[in-house]
């Protein structure tokens, strides 16, 4: 998969809130909404180290990644939690096919955060379908800098009848512990049947865009305050004491940000009322 596609799948939202007073009319609100959207677009591009949205007209995105993006779009998460998809890469860049190991794009950016949940996408390839499912024992292991194995992150037994993409859930603390090791090199999946490792790695002959290993991380974005810190406004017009959050739904495709796979839509919110600015907010007073 190209570097461009890797950027698309590693997308995360950084929130900035805008304040407006109760006396702000519809014209005033539309002006603030435009500013809020421009802030959001700027933050997305900055987080991806881009100056303008990439052209993805020729990009081929695997079906299992599309399905995963749809699932992520359907799940409402806390504003302080960011979900990212990191694609597996070959650390030797094709020069060493002898050691099966997977590294992940942009891992250094996310490994320092608190990992809440992790899931490893692994494709198991068999030559022909079995009439009766066979038992396959799976291990996810650390691969260390010297080439040896470290700790086992996950052990699981499945019954397999045909080639399939699995999503293996790994404890967030366990994943974090591996990333924090100085000699951590990557991950190796062992799924042996009849003496053969069925797990497709970047070094495998069968590796392609549809069988590539990937890692999903749910991380806590440091310094962000949950949207639940403030209540939702009852209506756009009704006055209420204190600060409240008014819905402001953003459709990324309508903004020209069709490279955002998930979420397709995002509630950017606008703070309304007597709100006290906090560190990560940009305050615009009317």
pLDDT in tens, 222-276: 534 444 455 666 665 555 566 777 777 788 888 888 777 766 777 777 777 666 6
| Confidence (pLDDT) at 133 | 94
* 118, 218 contact by CB (below 8 A): yes
Percent of the chain with pLDDT over 70: 71
pLDDT tens for 112-122 read 788 988 999 99
* Helical (H) or strand (E) element with 59: none
**For the chain, which residues make up each domain, given as ranges?**
1-77+224-286, 81-220
Distance CA 39, CA 194 (A): 55
pLDDT tens for 42-62 read 877 877 778 888 877 777 777
pLDDT tens for 89-137 read 999 888 888 899 999 987 877 777 889 889 999 999 998 899 999 999 9
CATH 2.40.160 fits 81-220, yes or no: no
Report the chain's mean pLDDT, rounded to a whole number: 76
b/e burial code for range 268-278 (CB count within 10 A of at least 16 → b): bbbbbbebeee
pLDDT tens for 170-195 read 999 999 999 999 999 999 999 999 99
Average pLDDT over residues 154-159: 95
Q: Compare 255 and 278 and report the one with higher pLDDT.
A: 255
* Residues in CB range of 194: below 8 A, 6 or more apart: none
Q: Compare 271 and 156 and report the one with higher pLDDT.
A: 156
């Amino acid at each position: 998969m190209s570097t461009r596609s890797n950027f698309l799948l590693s997308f995360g939202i950084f929130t900035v809130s805008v304040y407006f007073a109760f006396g702000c009319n519809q014209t005033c609100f539309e002006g603030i909404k435009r500013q809020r959207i421009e802030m959001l677009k700027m933050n997305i591009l900055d987080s991806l180290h881009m100056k303008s949205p990439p052209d993805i007209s020729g990009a081929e995105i695997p079906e299992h990644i599309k399905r995963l993006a749809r699932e992520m779009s359907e799940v409402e998460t806390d504003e302080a939690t960011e979900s990212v998809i990191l694609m597996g890469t070959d650390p030797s860049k094709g020069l060493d096919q002898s050691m099966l190991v997977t590294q992940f794009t942009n891992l250094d950016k996310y490994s320092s955060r608190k990992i809440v949940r992790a899931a490893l996408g692994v494709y198991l390839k068999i030559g022909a379908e079995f009439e009766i499912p066979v038992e396959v024992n799976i291990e996810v292991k650390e691969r260390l800098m010297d080439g040896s194995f470290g700790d086992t992150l996950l052990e699981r037994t499945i019954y397999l009848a045909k080639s399939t993409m699995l999503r293996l859930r790994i404890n967030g603390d366990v994943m974090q512990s591996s990333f924090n090791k100085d000699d951590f090199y990557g991950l190796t999946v062992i799924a042996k049947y009849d003496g053969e490792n069925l797990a497709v790695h970047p070094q495998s002959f069968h590796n392609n865009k549809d069988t590539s290993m990937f890692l999903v991380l749910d991380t806590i974005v440091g310094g962000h305050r949950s949207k639940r810190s403030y209540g939702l406004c009852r209506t756009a017009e009704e006055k209420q004491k204190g600060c409240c959050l008014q819905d402001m739904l953003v459709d990324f495709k309508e903004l020209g940000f069709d490279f955002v796979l998930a979420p397709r839509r995002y509630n950017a919110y606008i703070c309304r009322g007597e709100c006290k600015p906090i560190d990560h907010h940009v305050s615009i007073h009317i």
